[in-house]
Structure 1
Amino acid sequence: VNGQFVTDNGTNIFDIYKEELLKNPYTAENARIAASHYGSQLFDLAKNGFDSIPDLVLSISYQNGSLQDIGQKVNYGVKKTID
């Protein structure tokens, strides 16, 4: 509605997001930074619509009993772990 996402009662969800950031002891200190960063993305999404986001393309292969994401530089499959 008017470039914003709102609840059924008309509350802007960005306002709810900011309030919850401030309530959470893990995010309260950086609430302004998070609200600024994600708020701008939320407003762009509301303005441009969900159709403005390109579809995720994921190519997966199956080899030696393991699924692998073809588009990744490093794949973790059989006998491969994070060092």
Structure 2
Amino acid sequence: QFVTDNGANIFDLYKEELLKNPYTAENARIAASHYGAQLFDLAKNGFDSIPDLVLSIGYQNGSLYDIGQKVNYGVSK
């Protein structure tokens, strides 16, 4: 679980706020189910279980480009 400084469960706070919001109240159960599972996995595996994004950026012909991509869209494209 993830808890606040005063001991409140983050997921419980999330569900409460979903139900308060008129735009999300109707789908609160679906959202809580989806994100609750992700939060549970993150708590179980830890933050270090998510690999870091590795991005190599180059500069050529006046624009930046991602070295790992076959097609890039810079100033000339």
Q: After TM superposition, is the score higher than 0.5?
A: yes
Counterparts of 2:9 and 2:72 in 1: how far apart (Å)?
A: 41
Moved more, 56-65 or 43-52: 56-65
Identical aligned pairs, as a percentage? 92
Separation in 2, partners of 1:29, 1:79: 47
Shift of 1:29: 2.2
Rounded to whole Å, the distance in 2 between the matches of 1:72 and 1:33 is 35
- Equivalent residue pairs, number: 77
Structure 1: unaligned runs, 5 residues or longer: none
TM-score by length of 2: 0.80
- Distance change >3 Å, CA 78–CA 53, structure 1 → 2: same
User: Which deviates the most, 59-68 or 4-13?
Assistant: 59-68
Q: Structure 1 pair 14/59, CA: closer, same or farther in 2 (3 Å)?
A: same
Deviating more after overlay: 70-79 vs 26-35: 70-79
Asked if 1:11 corresponds to 2:4, the answer is no
2: CA distance, partners of 1:34 / 1:45: 16
TM-score by structure 1 length? 0.75
RMSD across aligned positions (CA)? 1.8
Relative to structure 1, is the Cα distance of residues 78 and 52 closer, same or farther in structure 2, using a 3 angstrom cutoff? same
In structure 2, the CA distance between the partners of 1:30 and 1:78, relative to structure 1 (3 Å rule), is same
Q: Distance in 2 between matches of 1:26 and 1:75?
A: 38
Deviations 1:25-73 (A, max 9, x none): 3322222111111111111111111111111111212122222223446
In structure 2, runs of 5+ residues without a counterpart are none
SS of the aligned residue for 1:30 comes to helix
